Structure 1
Amino acid sequence: MSELPGPQGQTGADQNYDYKVGPFDKLIVDVMGIEDLADRRVTVDGSGNISLPIAGVVQVSGLSLGEATNRITEQLRAGYVRNPRVAVNLEQSVSNFVTVDGEVAQPGNYPILPGMTLMRAVAAARGATEFARLREVVIHREVNGRQMIALYDLAAVRRGAYADPVLYPNDIVVVGDSPGRRLFQQIVSVSPLFVSPLVAVLDNNN
Protein backbone atom coordinates (compact mmCIF):
# COMPACT_ATOMS: atom_id res chain seq x y z
CA MET A 1 0.00 0.00 0.00
CA SER A 2 1.63 3.25 -1.19
CA GLU A 3 -0.64 5.73 0.58
CA LEU A 4 -2.78 6.00 3.67
CA PRO A 5 -6.42 5.61 2.60
CA GLY A 6 -9.18 7.93 3.74
CA PRO A 7 -11.51 6.88 6.57
CA GLN A 8 -13.79 4.99 4.15
CA GLY A 9 -10.86 3.44 2.31
CA GLN A 10 -10.82 5.99 -0.51
CA THR A 11 -7.53 6.62 -2.30
CA GLY A 12 -6.07 8.96 -4.90
CA ALA A 13 -8.30 11.75 -6.18
CA ASP A 14 -11.20 10.31 -4.18
CA GLN A 15 -9.44 11.37 -0.97
CA ASN A 16 -10.93 14.86 -1.25
CA TYR A 17 -13.91 15.17 1.05
CA ASP A 18 -16.79 17.48 1.83
CA TYR A 19 -16.72 19.04 5.26
CA LYS A 20 -19.57 17.72 7.39
CA VAL A 21 -21.28 20.16 9.71
CA GLY A 22 -21.34 19.11 13.36
CA PRO A 23 -22.71 20.29 16.71
CA PHE A 24 -21.48 23.71 17.88
CA ASP A 25 -20.00 24.63 14.50
CA LYS A 26 -20.55 28.29 13.62
CA LEU A 27 -22.11 29.03 10.23
CA ILE A 28 -22.91 32.14 8.21
CA VAL A 29 -26.20 31.90 6.32
CA ASP A 30 -26.94 34.51 3.67
CA VAL A 31 -30.20 34.73 1.73
CA MET A 32 -30.29 37.41 -0.92
CA GLY A 33 -33.13 39.88 -0.56
CA ILE A 34 -34.18 38.91 2.99
CA GLU A 35 -32.88 41.37 5.56
CA ASP A 36 -33.29 39.01 8.53
CA LEU A 37 -31.21 36.41 6.71
CA ALA A 38 -28.40 38.62 5.43
CA ASP A 39 -25.06 37.26 6.67
CA ARG A 40 -26.81 35.73 9.66
CA ARG A 41 -24.45 34.00 12.07
CA VAL A 42 -25.80 30.86 13.70
CA THR A 43 -24.38 28.14 15.94
CA VAL A 44 -25.38 24.51 15.48
CA ASP A 45 -26.91 23.28 18.73
CA GLY A 46 -26.13 20.01 20.49
CA SER A 47 -28.88 18.25 18.54
CA GLY A 48 -27.44 19.36 15.21
CA ASN A 49 -30.04 22.05 14.46
CA ILE A 50 -30.00 25.74 13.60
CA SER A 51 -32.95 28.12 13.86
CA LEU A 52 -33.67 30.66 11.13
CA PRO A 53 -36.46 33.15 10.46
CA ILE A 54 -39.03 31.79 7.99
CA ALA A 55 -37.19 28.46 7.60
CA GLY A 56 -37.62 27.55 11.27
CA VAL A 57 -35.56 24.75 12.79
CA VAL A 58 -33.23 23.14 10.25
CA GLN A 59 -31.33 19.90 10.86
CA VAL A 60 -27.83 20.40 9.43
CA SER A 61 -25.53 18.09 11.42
CA GLY A 62 -23.89 15.50 9.20
CA LEU A 63 -24.54 17.51 6.04
CA SER A 64 -21.97 19.08 3.77
CA LEU A 65 -22.21 22.84 3.33
CA GLY A 66 -23.83 22.26 -0.06
CA GLU A 67 -26.37 19.86 1.43
CA ALA A 68 -27.11 22.32 4.24
CA THR A 69 -27.67 25.02 1.61
CA ASN A 70 -30.16 22.79 -0.21
CA ARG A 71 -32.02 21.91 2.97
CA ILE A 72 -32.38 25.56 4.02
CA THR A 73 -33.53 26.39 0.49
CA GLU A 74 -36.23 23.70 0.67
CA GLN A 75 -37.52 24.94 4.00
CA LEU A 76 -37.61 28.54 2.80
CA ARG A 77 -39.66 27.45 -0.19
CA ALA A 78 -41.98 25.67 2.21
CA GLY A 79 -42.27 29.03 3.98
CA TYR A 80 -43.44 30.60 0.70
CA VAL A 81 -40.17 32.26 -0.30
CA ARG A 82 -39.94 32.20 -4.08
CA ASN A 83 -36.63 31.14 -5.57
CA PRO A 84 -34.48 31.76 -2.49
CA ARG A 85 -30.78 32.27 -3.21
CA VAL A 86 -28.97 30.77 -0.24
CA ALA A 87 -25.29 30.62 0.65
CA VAL A 88 -23.92 28.77 3.68
CA ASN A 89 -20.32 29.23 4.80
CA LEU A 90 -18.35 27.82 7.69
CA GLU A 91 -17.22 30.52 10.13
CA GLN A 92 -15.67 28.28 12.78
CA SER A 93 -15.24 24.52 13.06
CA VAL A 94 -15.68 23.04 16.52
CA SER A 95 -16.78 19.47 15.84
CA ASN A 96 -14.04 18.51 13.37
CA PHE A 97 -10.41 18.67 14.38
CA VAL A 98 -6.99 17.12 13.88
CA THR A 99 -4.52 16.51 16.71
CA VAL A 100 -0.93 17.65 16.16
CA ASP A 101 1.55 16.31 18.71
CA GLY A 102 5.26 15.71 19.15
CA GLU A 103 7.96 18.17 18.17
CA VAL A 104 5.83 21.16 17.21
CA ALA A 105 5.75 24.55 18.89
CA GLN A 106 2.12 24.30 20.04
CA PRO A 107 0.79 20.73 20.27
CA GLY A 108 -2.98 20.50 20.44
CA ASN A 109 -6.25 20.07 18.60
CA TYR A 110 -6.80 22.24 15.52
CA PRO A 111 -9.97 22.80 13.48
CA ILE A 112 -9.84 20.92 10.22
CA LEU A 113 -11.26 22.55 7.12
CA PRO A 114 -11.55 21.27 3.55
CA GLY A 115 -8.10 21.14 2.03
CA MET A 116 -6.25 20.65 5.32
CA THR A 117 -2.95 18.88 4.65
CA LEU A 118 0.00 17.67 6.68
CA MET A 119 2.06 20.81 6.02
CA ARG A 120 -0.85 23.07 6.90
CA ALA A 121 -1.52 21.18 10.13
CA VAL A 122 2.11 21.51 11.24
CA ALA A 123 2.00 25.20 10.31
CA ALA A 124 -1.18 25.62 12.38
CA ALA A 125 0.78 24.20 15.33
CA ARG A 126 3.32 27.01 14.80
CA GLY A 127 5.77 24.79 12.97
CA ALA A 128 8.28 22.12 13.94
CA THR A 129 10.73 22.66 16.80
CA GLU A 130 14.50 22.70 16.41
CA PHE A 131 14.57 19.11 17.68
CA ALA A 132 12.04 17.81 15.16
CA ARG A 133 12.96 14.85 13.02
CA LEU A 134 11.13 15.80 9.85
CA ARG A 135 11.82 12.44 8.22
CA GLU A 136 9.70 10.77 10.88
CA VAL A 137 6.24 12.30 10.86
CA VAL A 138 3.45 9.83 11.54
CA ILE A 139 -0.26 10.13 10.75
CA HIS A 140 -2.64 7.93 12.76
CA ARG A 141 -6.08 7.31 11.19
CA GLU A 142 -9.04 5.01 11.59
CA VAL A 143 -9.82 3.41 8.23
CA ASN A 144 -12.98 1.30 7.98
CA GLY A 145 -12.84 0.64 11.70
CA ARG A 146 -9.13 -0.28 11.77
CA GLN A 147 -6.34 1.86 13.17
CA MET A 148 -3.68 2.58 10.55
CA ILE A 149 -0.52 4.68 10.55
CA ALA A 150 1.70 6.08 7.82
CA LEU A 151 5.22 7.49 7.99
CA TYR A 152 5.98 10.67 6.04
CA ASP A 153 9.10 12.67 5.30
CA LEU A 154 7.90 16.24 5.83
CA ALA A 155 11.14 17.67 4.44
CA ALA A 156 10.56 15.75 1.20
CA VAL A 157 6.95 16.96 1.05
CA ARG A 158 8.19 20.54 1.43
CA ARG A 159 10.61 20.00 -1.46
CA GLY A 160 7.77 18.74 -3.61
CA ALA A 161 9.20 15.23 -3.82
CA TYR A 162 5.70 13.86 -3.26
CA ALA A 163 2.22 15.16 -2.56
CA ASP A 164 1.26 16.82 0.70
CA PRO A 165 -1.17 14.27 2.21
CA VAL A 166 -4.76 15.30 2.90
CA LEU A 167 -5.92 15.07 6.53
CA TYR A 168 -9.31 14.04 7.86
CA PRO A 169 -11.23 14.76 11.08
CA ASN A 170 -9.81 12.86 14.07
CA ASP A 171 -6.42 12.26 12.43
CA ILE A 172 -3.46 12.39 14.81
CA VAL A 173 -0.17 13.81 13.52
CA VAL A 174 3.00 13.12 15.52
CA VAL A 175 6.23 14.89 14.57
CA GLY A 176 9.23 12.79 15.59
CA ASP A 177 12.06 13.77 17.90
CA SER A 178 15.74 13.92 16.95
CA PRO A 179 17.75 12.52 19.89
CA GLY A 180 21.01 13.47 18.20
CA ARG A 181 20.14 17.16 17.91
CA ARG A 182 18.73 17.23 21.42
CA LEU A 183 21.89 15.62 22.80
CA PHE A 184 24.07 18.09 20.90
CA GLN A 185 22.09 21.00 22.36
CA GLN A 186 22.55 19.57 25.84
CA ILE A 187 26.30 19.22 25.27
CA VAL A 188 26.57 22.77 23.93
CA SER A 189 24.75 24.09 26.99
CA VAL A 190 27.58 22.82 29.21
CA SER A 191 30.41 23.48 26.73
CA PRO A 192 32.10 26.15 28.93
CA LEU A 193 33.18 23.23 31.10
CA PHE A 194 35.34 21.89 28.27
CA VAL A 195 38.98 22.99 28.00
CA SER A 196 39.46 21.64 24.48
CA PRO A 197 37.50 22.12 21.24
CA LEU A 198 34.09 20.46 21.14
CA VAL A 199 33.60 18.34 18.02
CA ALA A 200 30.42 16.44 17.22
CA VAL A 201 29.10 14.68 14.15
CA LEU A 202 25.36 14.58 13.64
CA ASP A 203 23.81 11.83 11.56
CA ASN A 204 21.96 13.47 8.65
CA ASN A 205 18.95 11.35 9.52
CA ASN A 206 18.64 13.05 12.92
Structure 2
Amino acid sequence: MKELIDYILQFGTLNQQQVNLVISKAKELDLQKGEYFSEAGKVPRQVGFVVEGVIRGCYYKKQGEEITRCFISENSLVVDYVNFEANTVSSEYLQACTDCKLIVFPKPDWEELSHIIVNWDKIKNKMVHLCMHQKSRKGPVISQDATTRYLDFLENYPSLINRIPLTHIASYLGVTQQSLSRIRKNIR
Protein backbone atom coordinates (compact mmCIF):
# COMPACT_ATOMS: atom_id res chain seq x y z
CA MET A 1 0.00 0.00 0.00
CA LYS A 2 2.96 2.31 0.55
CA GLU A 3 3.48 2.66 -3.22
CA LEU A 4 -0.16 3.73 -3.67
CA ILE A 5 -0.08 6.27 -0.84
CA ASP A 6 3.24 7.70 -2.09
CA TYR A 7 1.68 8.00 -5.56
CA ILE A 8 -1.45 9.75 -4.26
CA LEU A 9 0.56 12.18 -2.11
CA GLN A 10 2.35 13.45 -5.24
CA PHE A 11 -0.95 15.08 -6.19
CA GLY A 12 -2.06 16.58 -2.87
CA THR A 13 -1.96 16.19 0.89
CA LEU A 14 -3.95 13.85 3.11
CA ASN A 15 -3.92 13.59 6.88
CA GLN A 16 -3.40 10.21 8.56
CA GLN A 17 -7.14 9.65 9.04
CA GLN A 18 -7.72 10.24 5.30
CA VAL A 19 -4.82 7.94 4.40
CA ASN A 20 -6.35 5.25 6.61
CA LEU A 21 -9.71 5.70 4.87
CA VAL A 22 -8.11 5.30 1.43
CA ILE A 23 -6.32 2.15 2.62
CA SER A 24 -9.57 0.75 4.05
CA LYS A 25 -11.28 1.10 0.65
CA ALA A 26 -8.42 -0.46 -1.33
CA LYS A 27 -8.28 -4.15 -2.19
CA GLU A 28 -5.37 -6.18 -3.51
CA LEU A 29 -5.82 -8.02 -6.79
CA ASP A 30 -3.49 -10.45 -8.55
CA LEU A 31 -3.90 -10.84 -12.31
CA GLN A 32 -2.19 -13.65 -14.14
CA LYS A 33 -0.60 -12.98 -17.51
CA GLY A 34 -3.39 -12.88 -20.12
CA GLU A 35 -6.21 -12.06 -17.67
CA TYR A 36 -8.26 -8.92 -18.17
CA PHE A 37 -8.57 -5.99 -15.79
CA SER A 38 -11.48 -4.73 -17.89
CA GLU A 39 -13.02 -5.94 -21.13
CA ALA A 40 -14.62 -4.55 -24.25
CA GLY A 41 -18.38 -5.03 -24.18
CA LYS A 42 -18.54 -4.53 -20.41
CA VAL A 43 -18.84 -1.49 -18.15
CA PRO A 44 -15.57 -0.86 -16.24
CA ARG A 45 -16.26 -1.28 -12.50
CA GLN A 46 -12.93 -0.50 -10.82
CA VAL A 47 -9.90 1.77 -10.75
CA GLY A 48 -6.54 0.09 -10.32
CA PHE A 49 -3.00 1.01 -9.35
CA VAL A 50 -0.22 -1.15 -10.77
CA VAL A 51 2.15 -2.22 -7.99
CA GLU A 52 3.94 -4.84 -10.07
CA GLY A 53 3.63 -5.90 -13.71
CA VAL A 54 2.54 -4.51 -17.06
CA ILE A 55 -0.95 -4.07 -18.50
CA ARG A 56 -1.69 -3.21 -22.09
CA GLY A 57 -4.62 -1.40 -23.64
CA CYS A 58 -5.78 -3.13 -26.80
CA TYR A 59 -8.71 -3.50 -29.17
CA TYR A 60 -9.62 -5.59 -32.19
CA LYS A 61 -10.26 -4.30 -35.69
CA LYS A 62 -13.32 -5.58 -37.53
CA GLN A 63 -11.07 -8.04 -39.39
CA GLY A 64 -10.04 -9.51 -36.04
CA GLU A 65 -6.58 -7.93 -36.05
CA GLU A 66 -5.38 -7.09 -32.55
CA ILE A 67 -4.01 -3.59 -31.97
CA THR A 68 -2.04 -2.68 -28.83
CA ARG A 69 -2.57 1.00 -28.02
CA CYS A 70 -0.53 1.50 -24.85
CA PHE A 71 1.37 -0.12 -22.00
CA ILE A 72 0.79 0.70 -18.33
CA SER A 73 3.43 -0.36 -15.83
CA GLU A 74 4.30 0.11 -12.17
CA ASN A 75 3.24 3.19 -10.23
CA SER A 76 0.45 4.11 -12.63
CA LEU A 77 -3.32 4.12 -12.48
CA VAL A 78 -5.11 1.77 -14.82
CA VAL A 79 -8.73 2.38 -15.79
CA ASP A 80 -10.90 3.07 -18.81
CA TYR A 81 -11.93 6.26 -17.03
CA VAL A 82 -14.31 7.77 -19.59
CA ASN A 83 -16.48 4.64 -19.60
CA PHE A 84 -15.96 4.09 -15.85
CA GLU A 85 -17.31 7.56 -15.07
CA ALA A 86 -20.13 7.42 -17.62
CA ASN A 87 -21.15 3.86 -16.70
CA THR A 88 -20.93 2.92 -20.37
CA VAL A 89 -19.61 -0.13 -22.19
CA SER A 90 -15.91 -0.10 -23.04
CA SER A 91 -14.57 -0.70 -26.53
CA GLU A 92 -11.11 -1.77 -25.40
CA TYR A 93 -9.45 -4.38 -23.24
CA LEU A 94 -7.00 -3.81 -20.41
CA GLN A 95 -5.04 -7.06 -20.25
CA ALA A 96 -2.14 -8.23 -18.10
CA CYS A 97 1.01 -8.70 -20.24
CA THR A 98 2.79 -10.15 -17.20
CA ASP A 99 1.63 -11.42 -13.85
CA CYS A 100 0.43 -8.29 -12.06
CA LYS A 101 -0.20 -7.12 -8.52
CA LEU A 102 -2.73 -4.32 -8.33
CA ILE A 103 -4.49 -2.28 -5.70
CA VAL A 104 -8.07 -1.69 -6.79
CA PHE A 105 -11.01 0.42 -5.77
CA PRO A 106 -14.49 -0.79 -6.71
CA LYS A 107 -16.55 2.08 -8.15
CA PRO A 108 -18.75 2.66 -5.04
CA ASP A 109 -15.66 2.91 -2.81
CA TRP A 110 -13.83 5.20 -5.27
CA GLU A 111 -16.86 7.51 -5.36
CA GLU A 112 -17.29 7.41 -1.57
CA LEU A 113 -13.80 8.87 -1.15
CA SER A 114 -15.04 12.00 -2.98
CA HIS A 115 -17.89 12.40 -0.50
CA ILE A 116 -15.72 12.01 2.60
CA ILE A 117 -12.30 13.50 1.78
CA VAL A 118 -12.51 17.24 1.14
CA ASN A 119 -9.69 17.53 -1.43
CA TRP A 120 -10.10 14.06 -2.98
CA ASP A 121 -11.66 15.37 -6.20
CA LYS A 122 -8.65 17.63 -6.86
CA ILE A 123 -6.22 14.79 -6.15
CA LYS A 124 -8.29 12.33 -8.17
CA ASN A 125 -8.54 14.69 -11.14
CA LYS A 126 -4.75 15.12 -11.25
CA MET A 127 -4.21 11.34 -11.04
CA VAL A 128 -6.81 10.65 -13.73
CA HIS A 129 -5.40 13.38 -15.97
CA LEU A 130 -1.95 11.76 -15.82
CA CYS A 131 -3.48 8.30 -16.39
CA MET A 132 -5.37 9.49 -19.47
CA HIS A 133 -2.28 11.28 -20.78
CA GLN A 134 -0.23 8.09 -20.44
CA LYS A 135 -2.91 6.00 -22.16
CA SER A 136 -3.38 8.52 -24.97
CA ARG A 137 0.29 8.96 -25.74
CA LYS A 138 0.55 8.60 -29.44
CA GLY A 139 1.52 5.19 -30.63
CA PRO A 140 4.24 4.88 -33.21
CA VAL A 141 3.89 7.14 -36.23
CA ILE A 142 3.09 4.77 -39.04
CA SER A 143 4.73 7.10 -41.57
CA GLN A 144 8.06 6.35 -39.86
CA ASP A 145 9.92 3.29 -40.96
CA ALA A 146 9.59 0.26 -38.69
CA THR A 147 13.14 0.50 -37.34
CA THR A 148 12.57 4.09 -36.23
CA ARG A 149 9.30 3.07 -34.55
CA TYR A 150 11.13 0.29 -32.71
CA LEU A 151 13.94 2.63 -31.58
CA ASP A 152 11.29 5.08 -30.33
CA PHE A 153 9.65 2.23 -28.41
CA LEU A 154 13.00 1.39 -26.79
CA GLU A 155 13.41 5.04 -25.79
CA ASN A 156 9.86 5.42 -24.41
CA TYR A 157 9.57 2.01 -22.73
CA PRO A 158 13.14 0.91 -21.90
CA SER A 159 12.10 -1.34 -19.03
CA LEU A 160 9.50 -3.27 -21.02
CA ILE A 161 11.50 -4.83 -23.83
CA ASN A 162 12.42 -7.99 -21.92
CA ARG A 163 9.21 -8.16 -19.87
CA ILE A 164 6.40 -8.40 -22.41
CA PRO A 165 5.76 -10.75 -25.32
CA LEU A 166 7.14 -9.66 -28.68
CA THR A 167 3.69 -10.20 -30.20
CA HIS A 168 2.40 -7.26 -28.13
CA ILE A 169 5.35 -5.07 -29.13
CA ALA A 170 4.85 -5.96 -32.81
CA SER A 171 1.14 -5.14 -32.50
CA TYR A 172 1.98 -1.79 -30.90
CA LEU A 173 4.47 -1.00 -33.66
CA GLY A 174 2.12 -2.09 -36.44
CA VAL A 175 4.49 -4.76 -37.80
CA THR A 176 4.48 -8.54 -37.97
CA GLN A 177 6.41 -10.51 -35.42
CA GLN A 178 8.76 -11.69 -38.18
CA SER A 179 9.50 -8.06 -39.16
CA LEU A 180 10.17 -7.20 -35.54
CA SER A 181 12.61 -10.11 -35.25
CA ARG A 182 14.46 -8.87 -38.35
CA ILE A 183 14.62 -5.32 -36.98
CA ARG A 184 15.95 -6.52 -33.64
CA LYS A 185 18.57 -8.69 -35.37
CA ASN A 186 19.76 -5.78 -37.55
CA ILE A 187 20.09 -3.42 -34.58
CA ARG A 188 22.33 -5.71 -32.51
Higher strand share: 1
TM-score by length of 2: 0.27
Q: Highest Rg: 1 or 2?
A: 1
Q: Which has the higher contact order (CA 8 A, sep 6+)?
A: 2
TM-score by length of 1: 0.25
